[in-house]
Protein backbone atom coordinates (compact mmCIF):
# COMPACT_ATOMS: atom_id res chain seq x y z
CA UNK A 1 0.00 0.00 0.00
CA UNK A 2 2.74 2.46 0.93
CA UNK A 3 4.68 1.64 -2.25
CA UNK A 4 1.59 2.13 -4.44
CA UNK A 5 0.84 5.63 -3.17
CA UNK A 6 3.28 8.14 -4.57
CA UNK A 7 4.53 11.23 -2.82
CA UNK A 8 1.80 13.60 -1.64
CA UNK A 9 -1.08 11.49 -2.99
CA UNK A 10 -2.43 10.63 0.44
CA UNK A 11 -2.08 12.27 3.79
CA UNK A 12 -3.04 12.06 7.39
CA UNK A 13 -1.60 11.14 10.74
CA UNK A 14 -2.21 7.40 10.52
CA UNK A 15 -1.84 6.79 6.77
CA UNK A 16 -0.07 3.52 6.14
CA UNK A 17 -0.15 2.55 9.81
CA UNK A 18 0.16 -1.24 10.05
CA UNK A 19 -2.45 -1.31 12.81
CA UNK A 20 -4.84 0.82 10.74
CA UNK A 21 -4.35 -1.48 7.74
CA UNK A 22 -5.04 -4.60 9.83
CA UNK A 23 -8.18 -2.98 11.27
CA UNK A 24 -9.36 -2.00 7.78
CA UNK A 25 -8.86 -5.54 6.48
CA UNK A 26 -10.75 -6.92 9.49
CA UNK A 27 -13.67 -4.60 8.73
CA UNK A 28 -13.73 -5.72 5.09
CA UNK A 29 -13.67 -9.36 6.23
CA UNK A 30 -16.69 -8.74 8.49
CA UNK A 31 -18.56 -7.02 5.65
CA UNK A 32 -17.99 -10.13 3.54
CA UNK A 33 -18.75 -12.59 6.36
CA UNK A 34 -22.04 -10.92 7.24
CA UNK A 35 -22.92 -10.35 3.56
CA UNK A 36 -23.71 -6.73 4.34
CA UNK A 37 -23.79 -5.69 0.69
CA UNK A 38 -26.72 -8.03 0.04
CA UNK A 39 -28.36 -6.87 3.26
CA UNK A 40 -28.04 -3.26 2.14
CA UNK A 41 -29.69 -4.06 -1.18
CA UNK A 42 -32.50 -5.92 0.59
CA UNK A 43 -33.17 -3.05 3.00
CA UNK A 44 -33.11 -0.57 0.13
CA UNK A 45 -35.66 -2.60 -1.83
CA UNK A 46 -37.99 -2.78 1.18
CA UNK A 47 -37.69 0.94 1.89
CA UNK A 48 -38.12 2.00 -1.74
CA UNK A 49 -41.32 -0.04 -2.04
CA UNK A 50 -42.80 1.60 1.04
CA UNK A 51 -41.65 5.08 0.02
CA UNK A 52 -43.06 4.60 -3.50
CA UNK A 53 -46.43 3.74 -1.94
CA UNK A 54 -46.25 6.89 0.20
CA UNK A 55 -45.27 8.96 -2.82
CA UNK A 56 -48.26 7.66 -4.79
CA UNK A 57 -50.56 8.78 -1.97
CA UNK A 58 -48.88 12.11 -1.24
CA UNK A 59 -47.95 14.26 -4.26
CA UNK A 60 -45.96 16.51 -1.91
CA UNK A 61 -43.28 13.80 -1.94
CA UNK A 62 -41.61 14.97 -5.12
CA UNK A 63 -38.75 12.49 -5.25
CA UNK A 64 -37.28 9.46 -3.52
CA UNK A 65 -33.60 8.94 -4.17
CA UNK A 66 -30.52 7.29 -2.75
CA UNK A 67 -28.74 4.00 -2.62
CA UNK A 68 -29.55 0.91 -0.59
CA UNK A 69 -30.53 1.79 2.98
CA UNK A 70 -29.49 5.45 2.56
CA UNK A 71 -32.43 7.28 1.01
CA UNK A 72 -33.92 10.75 0.93
CA UNK A 73 -37.45 11.97 0.38
CA UNK A 74 -37.86 15.40 -1.18
CA UNK A 75 -40.92 17.43 -0.19
CA UNK A 76 -42.38 19.87 -2.72
CA UNK A 77 -45.31 22.29 -2.81
CA UNK A 78 -46.92 20.38 -5.67
CA UNK A 79 -46.00 17.74 -8.23
CA UNK A 80 -46.18 20.19 -11.13
CA UNK A 81 -43.86 22.94 -9.96
CA UNK A 82 -41.62 20.81 -7.73
CA UNK A 83 -40.92 23.96 -5.68
CA UNK A 84 -39.15 23.06 -2.41
CA UNK A 85 -41.36 22.81 0.68
CA UNK A 86 -39.04 22.84 3.70
CA UNK A 87 -41.99 23.46 6.02
CA UNK A 88 -43.46 20.09 5.00
CA UNK A 89 -40.19 18.29 5.70
CA UNK A 90 -40.09 19.99 9.11
CA UNK A 91 -43.70 19.02 9.84
CA UNK A 92 -43.05 15.37 8.95
CA UNK A 93 -39.82 15.27 11.00
CA UNK A 94 -41.62 16.78 14.01
CA UNK A 95 -44.56 14.38 13.69
CA UNK A 96 -42.11 11.47 13.51
CA UNK A 97 -40.22 12.71 16.57
CA UNK A 98 -43.45 12.88 18.58
CA UNK A 99 -43.80 9.17 17.78
CA UNK A 100 -40.23 8.38 18.84
CA UNK A 101 -38.70 8.26 15.36
CA UNK A 102 -35.73 10.51 14.63
CA UNK A 103 -35.53 11.71 11.02
CA UNK A 104 -32.98 14.28 9.85
CA UNK A 105 -33.63 17.14 7.45
CA UNK A 106 -31.24 17.64 4.56
CA UNK A 107 -30.85 19.30 1.20
CA UNK A 108 -29.86 22.74 0.04
CA UNK A 109 -33.39 24.01 0.61
CA UNK A 110 -34.00 21.95 3.76
CA UNK A 111 -36.89 20.17 2.06
CA UNK A 112 -35.50 16.64 2.19
CA UNK A 113 -35.56 14.01 4.89
CA UNK A 114 -32.63 11.61 5.15
CA UNK A 115 -33.30 8.03 6.11
CA UNK A 116 -30.29 5.94 7.08
CA UNK A 117 -31.06 2.43 8.28
CA UNK A 118 -28.48 0.32 10.08
CA UNK A 119 -27.52 -2.82 8.19
CA UNK A 120 -28.06 -4.84 11.38
CA UNK A 121 -31.70 -3.73 11.79
CA UNK A 122 -34.20 -6.55 11.40
CA UNK A 123 -36.94 -6.44 8.78
CA UNK A 124 -39.48 -6.24 11.63
CA UNK A 125 -37.74 -3.19 13.12
CA UNK A 126 -37.58 -1.54 9.71
CA UNK A 127 -41.26 -2.24 8.99
CA UNK A 128 -42.25 -0.83 12.38
CA UNK A 129 -40.22 2.32 11.73
CA UNK A 130 -41.72 2.69 8.26
CA UNK A 131 -45.22 2.35 9.73
CA UNK A 132 -44.44 5.14 12.21
CA UNK A 133 -43.00 7.25 9.39
CA UNK A 134 -46.14 6.70 7.27
CA UNK A 135 -48.29 7.86 10.20
CA UNK A 136 -46.13 10.98 10.57
CA UNK A 137 -46.43 11.74 6.85
CA UNK A 138 -50.22 11.31 6.97
CA UNK A 139 -50.49 13.61 9.99
CA UNK A 140 -48.18 16.29 8.61
CA UNK A 141 -49.59 16.31 5.10
CA UNK A 142 -53.18 15.93 6.27
CA UNK A 143 -54.31 13.27 3.86
CA UNK A 144 -55.40 9.65 3.78
CA UNK A 145 -54.48 7.34 6.63
CA UNK A 146 -51.29 5.37 5.97
CA UNK A 147 -51.40 1.80 4.80
CA UNK A 148 -49.71 -0.57 7.26
CA UNK A 149 -46.96 -2.87 6.03
CA UNK A 150 -49.14 -5.94 6.57
CA UNK A 151 -51.58 -4.74 3.91
CA UNK A 152 -48.95 -3.99 1.26
Q: What is the pLDDT of residues 12-37, one digit of tens each?
A: 776 778 998 899 999 999 999 999 99
CA distance 24 to 19: 9
The answer for residues whose C-beta is within 8 angstroms of residue 144's C-beta and 6 or more apart is 57, 138
CA distance 37 to 23: 19
Pick the CATH number of 36-144 from 3.30.420.40, 3.90.1150.10, 1.10.3720.10, 3.30.390.30: 3.90.1150.10
Domain ranges of the chain: 36-144
Q: Which residues on neighbouring strands pair with residue 73, listed in sequence order?
A: 64, 113
Determine the pLDDT at residue 142.
83
Lowest mean pLDDT among 38-42, 75-79, 144-148: 144-148
Q: What SS3 state is found at 72? A: strand
* 66-111 confidence digits (pLDDT tens): 999 999 999 999 888 999 999 999 999 999 999 999 999 999 999 9
Q: Categorize the per-residue pLDDT at 6 as very low, low, confident or very high, splitting at 50, 70 and 90.
A: low
Amino acid sequence: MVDAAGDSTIGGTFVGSPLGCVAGIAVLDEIDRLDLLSRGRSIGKLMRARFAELQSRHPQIGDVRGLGPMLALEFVRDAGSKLPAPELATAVAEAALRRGLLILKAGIDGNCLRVLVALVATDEQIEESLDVFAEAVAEALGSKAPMAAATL
